Amino acid sequence: MNNKTLTLIKPDDWHLHVRSGAALKSVVGMTATQMGRAIIMPNLNPPVTNAAQANIYREEILSALPKDSTFTPLMVLYLTDNTTPKDIQEAMDNNVVAAKLYPAGATTNSDSGVTNIVKLYPTLERMQKTGMPLLVHGEVTRNEVDIFDREAVFIDEVLRQVVSDFPELKIVFEHITTKNAVDFVRESSDNIASTITPQHLLNNRNDMLVGGIKPHTYCLPVLKRAEHQVALVDAAISGNAKFFLGTDSAPHTKHDKESACGCAGVFSAPHAIELYAQAFDKAGAMDKLEGFASKFGADFYHLPHNTQTITLKKQNWTVPNELEFNGDVIVPFMATKTLNWRLEAPPLDWTPN
């Protein structure tokens, strides 16, 4: 590394939404340019709840990739109240790498999610035994719990219990947004890790709400106060292998976001690594980016590091105000803002395949 360029092992995205059909075709090439692999979220409509559906979805993703792409989608099972230990075994036998817990109603397409985790204990038992990681959307959904408190309450009401009942279960606490979550992950055993998104490193709730509502910064779990952002940046740049990259890039059309009831989801796939570079550089920690982006996630999943590399160049550039998406328009995160690092090789390709 010098001050002008930084070459990294090609990163992986440990939490990504690519959708399906034409929407998938618009976005998957963007991630393939940046990332070697990605954990593919299963919250399609209907969700990916068994091995056969995961196989079909994997094939659809592979056939939507640009020619010569070496990108590998890592498939995930969507847990419902009815997921059985046999479903887990079949998923493992079909190279599904993890299973995802959406508390019912927590976020986009989570209506078939789990209503009571205790019902799933035999399934978690099998996951613990076989080493399949549990990916957790960590928010309670009870109406009386304030939206800004839902992650912290989830830790105290659900996660502590699950961790104590299944001490050997590998868990990824996804897209963490609070100091409470950072502390919980730090204090837990090495079986517990977490992903952090670029928007939670670069923004806090003032960025979303002061001077007018910015719908393109709205995602779930929602942005929190500045002190939580500070704790997340500290965790990301700490070199602690429990914290790694997961963009939660979640594409929705401009129209669906700029609406009286706007969808939750920030779209960061085209410039994900540049966004993380922005946050790490601001914190004076570019030397910590490679571990976070390219090593710690793979290590947690017991996968090899990628053999390809990418190079970032220190160069100001402006994020486009809009991109084409699914025959419509999408607004990328930080649209019209200037970023200080740019992906150099392979060249950043904004055009959908």
Q: Is 264 in the site for ligand NCD (CB under 6 A)?
A: yes
CA distance 158 to 155: 6
CA distance 339 to 194: 26
CA distance 65 to 5: 28
User: What number of chain residues touch ligand NCD (CB under 6 A)?
Assistant: 11
Is 248 annotated as catalytic? Answer: yes
- Residue 255's contacts (CB-CB under 8 Å, 6 or more residues apart) are 328, 329
Q: Is 248 in the site for ligand NCD (CB under 6 A)?
A: yes
* DSSP states of 267-301: --GGGHHHHHHHHHHHTT-GGGHHIIIIIHHHHHT
Identity at 5, one-letter amino acid code: T
For Zn ion, the closer of residues 300 and 341 by Cβ is 300
CA distance 175 to 81: 23
For Zn ion, the closer of residues 180 and 268 by Cβ is 268
What's the min distance (Å) between Cβ of 43 and ligand NCD?
5
Looking at residue 8, the DSSP 8-state letter turns out to be E
CA distance 244 to 228: 17
Please pick, among 248, 287, 299, 328, the residue that the annotation labels catalytic: 248
What's the min distance (Å) between Cβ of 93 and ligand NCD?
26
What's the min distance (Å) between Cβ of 276 and ligand NCD?
17
Binders in 80-109 for ligand NCD, by CB under 6 A:
107-108
Binders in 239-258 for Zn ion, by CB under 5 A:
248
What's the min distance (Å) between Cβ of 3 and Zn ion?
34
**Count of CB atoms situated within 10 Å of the CB of 322:** 13
Structure tokens at 187: 């204090």
Q: Contact letters (x/-) for ligand NCD, 43-72, by CB under 6 A? A: x-----------------------------
User: Which residues of the chain form contacts with Zn ion (CB under 5 A)?
Assistant: 248
Residues that bind ligand NCD (CB under 6 A): 17, 43, 107-108, 137, 219-220, 248, 250, 264-265
Catalytically active residues are 248
